[in-house]
Structure formats: structure tokens, C-alpha cells
Amino acid sequence: MKKYICFFKLRFATGMQYRMATVTALTTQLIWGLMECLAYRAIAEASGGKMPMDYSSIVTYIWLKEGLLVLFNTWAADNDLFAMITDGGIAYELCRPLSIYSMWFSRTVGARIAEAFMRCVPVLFCAFLLMPKAYRMTLPVSGVSFLLFLLTVFLALGITVTFCMIVYMLCFFTISPQGWRMVLTGAVDFLSGNVIPLPFFPKKYLFLLELSPFAYMQNVPFRIYSGDLMGGDVYLCILKQIFWLAVLMLLGIALWKKAEKRVALQGG
């Protein structure tokens, strides 16, 4: 376990070095978040306030999404890992007396937490101070909700990373990773609530979506924090998060075991 924690620390330290990139991303996320708030404000006024979510909950959802963008975006995958698979660098990884899956999992989590840490604090700080008040992020509805939010954030991060691990493993069976990466990450970005909150989906499609792991990524913690998801539904969602985390992890490990037997070094 100590060696995988070391990989986490190394990747975390590396991610903390790109401060200027963080400043650029911070500006983009603040502007984009404000644009989304304005768009939903227009929808709320046009519909007379009749929306699947309360407007203040939507605003908080948007700012949490922008602040924790790197944690849950499946397109924010590790390009170094894709490069290892396609240029032959995987040979060096195979020489290590370690589990490839565990090693890549720990470094992916470390990279995401480092980038999110640098972006989250300034984005949310600005969101709490925004004027007018209608576009300002609110505090959690209760202390219990905040604790449940933290728990579900880590579970959602685990689900996101295990899904990315599946994408990495699938690339062992293709010449180029671009096909799997574009199709799967693009679809999940939409189905996980990153484009629009899931309550805005038609009910018949939302029912089907809730049978998939995508509904238990960022959708759950953000709605718990804003108070849109409460009561017994919260604990049911946590159980489903644990279930999907275990399923995706086992699937990723199974794919790696199969890929390990047929690795082809394409870079020499």
C-alpha cells in the first residue's frame, strides 16, 4: 500500500506545479459558470419558476460543478497513460513489481485532487461573493448534508476514476485510443449531469439513466449539498455509489488481466 501512496503523492506534487494553467482555467470557469447562471435565470423567468430544481439549488450546483470540474470530468484523463500504451512505454511499467491497475489508479486520483485543490478554493470563494445575490452560491442546507456531500464526493471520484481506468484498459485492444476516448468520455460527460443537471431530463429517460453508474458521479454530491436530494434518497444513492464503484473496479481489473496476456509493444 505504501508504494501506491507514494505514486499518489508524486502525482499530487506534480499537479500542484502548474499554477499559471490554474489561473487561466479559473478565469474560464468563473465566466462560464456566470453564463450558465444567467441562462438558467432566463429559463426560470420564462417558465414562471416552474423548473425541476429550485433556482438557488441550480446556481449552487453550477458553482460546485465549476469548482470541482477536474475531479469528475472523464475527458480529463491522463495523456501520459495513453501515450504509454501507444508508444511502447508500457514496457517500463510492466517491469515494476507492482499492480498496473493500482499504480495507475493512485496516480490518476492524485493528479485530479491536486488540480481540483488549486481551482476549487478560488472558484468557490468568488462564487460566495458574487453580486447580485441571485448568482451567489449558498451554504449547505445543514451540517449533516455537508458531511454526506464530502462522503459522496469521494465515492463519485472513485466511480469517475474507475470508469477512466476502463477506458485506459480498452485502449490495449485498439491501435489508437482516440475512438474509445471520444465516444465514451463525451457520452458520460452528458449523462453524468455535467452539461445539464439530471432532474431536467425527461422522467422516462431519467429512470433508465439512474440504472447506470453515470447518475452517481457528480450528480449525487452536488444535489445533496444544494438540498435538492434529501431524506432516504440520499442513503439509497450512497449504496448505489458503493455498488457501482465495486462493479467498475472489478470490471477494470478483469480487463487488465485480459490485456496483460496480449500486450503488444507498438513503439519498439
Dist CA 104 CA 57 (whole Å): 35
Q: Does the structure show a pLDDT above 80 at 26? A: no
Q: Does the structure show a pLDDT above 70 at 264? A: no
Within a 10 A sphere around the Cβ of 153, how many other Cβ atoms? 21
Least reliable range by pLDDT among 10-19, 119-128, 159-168: 10-19
Q: Does the structure show a pLDDT above 90 at 177? A: no
Confidence at residue 181, expressed as pLDDT on a 0 to 100 scale: 73
**What tens digit of pLDDT does each residue of 61-96 get?**
999 998 888 888 877 677 777 777 777 677 777 777
Helical segments of the chain, H only:
2-15, 19-46, 55-67, 69-72, 79-87, 90-95, 100-129, 143-170, 178-191, 203-209, 219-226, 232-260
Dist CA 126 CA 258 (whole Å): 47
Dist CA 27 CA 14 (whole Å): 22
Confidence of residue 152 (pLDDT cuts 50, 70, 90): very high
Higher-confidence residue: 15 or 255?
255
Least reliable range by pLDDT among 14-28, 133-147, 175-189, 205-219: 14-28
Q: Are 71 and 248 in contact (CB under 8 A)?
A: no
Confidence at residue 32, expressed as pLDDT on a 0 to 100 scale: 86
Dist CA 148 CA 143 (whole Å): 9
Confidence at residue 242, expressed as pLDDT on a 0 to 100 scale: 96
Tell me what the pLDDT averaged over the chain comes to: 82
Dist CA 5 CA 199 (whole Å): 37
